[in-house]
Amino acid sequence: MGDRKLNVVPSRMVLANLRARLVAAIKGHNLLKKKSDALTLKFRSMINEIADTKEQIVAYFKEAHSSLMDVKYVAGTHSTFSIIESVTESTTKIKTGMENIAGVKIPKFTVVNEHQDTSDLRGISKGGQQIQLCKHKFNEALNLLVQLASLQVAFVTLDEVIKKTNRRVNAIEHVIQPRIENTIRFVIDTLDERDREEFFRLKKIQKKKKEKVKKKDREKKLWALKLEEQKKLLSGQSNLNQNQVSNQISRFNDNNNNNNNLIDQRKQKEIESDDSESDSDFQEFDDSTIPTILSEWLDEDEDILF
């Protein structure tokens, strides 16, 4: 029963409340324990008082009844009846009060003598002295009876209160306090587990972020390497294209020079052939025939130019 725990939702607020309840339970246990000890001490002393009072009552009642027998012997039976009939009002009354013992209110009875009955004073011949002595003995026995009644009521009340207080002390010590302690341990373990899970989750998130950053860095490095390779390739191709263009230009210039030389040589030959021919064979050329001749030359030299 003491190994159980309370049904609570684990949280910091609940843990603080449980700790406050545990402190209150410990303080209450200590106070109830002190109260039980004080009541037990009073209870034991009251047992001794009750035993002493009972012994005194027995002795006083023996003396009172012995004195009553003396009165009957001295005054006679008729005198005792006349004394009883002459009493009209009680001279002894009991008042109740409350006594506080360790926070427990206990009823207490006290004897009050309001006035003395002096209306019937018997002479020595009628046993007046014995009657007064008997009255005094019975008054003392009555006071002891009231004291014993007060002690008996306090004894019973204290017995019930001590049992109730001991039950509360045992309940706090063996049920309430262990339950609260088990609940506190459960809440602390649960909160620690949550903290560990949260720490592990944050570490995983941090690890993933670092991996993403590293991956981006690797991608950037690879992209930079690719860009450098492409630049190198483009620069190599540009150098190659420039060399090819320069070679083609130089070849075109050479071919063009060769063509020009051939054309000049051919024109020279034609001029010489025209000079050597006779005048009869001379043929005039118009400006309209020049394009035709040039086209023929170009057709002949097509392989050389291109």
Q: Write the pLDDT tens digit of every residue in 239-249.
A: 555 566 566 56
Compute the average pLDDT of residues 179-194: 92
Arithmetic mean of pLDDT, 126-143? 77
CA distance 75 to 82: 11
Answer yes or no: is pLDDT of 280 > 50.
no
Kindly compute the dihedral angle of the four CA atoms of residues 143, 149, 151, 157, in this order, to the nearest 10 degrees: -160
Round the average pLDDT of the chain to a whole number and report it. 76
Q: Which CATH architecture has domain 12-199?
A: Orthogonal Bundle (1.10)
Q: CA 178, CA 2: separation in Å to the nearest integer? A: 5
More confident position, 121 or 252: 252
Alpha-carbon span 229 to 225, nearest angstrom: 6
CB contact at 8 A, 304 and 255 = yes
Q: Is residue 167 pLDDT above 90, yes or no?
A: yes
- Would the pLDDT of 118 be above 60? no
Instruction: Let me know: does 135 contact 127? Beta carbons within 8 Å.
Output: no
Structural tokens at position 127: 């046993």
Rounded to whole angstroms, how far apart are CA atoms 283 and 61?
Answer: 197
On the question of pLDDT at 46 being above 50, the answer is: yes
pLDDT digits (tens, 9 = 90+) for 208-241: 888 888 888 888 788 878 777 776 776 665 555 5
The C-alpha angle 63, 64, 67, rounded to 5 degrees, equals 85
Coil, helix or strand at residue 109: strand
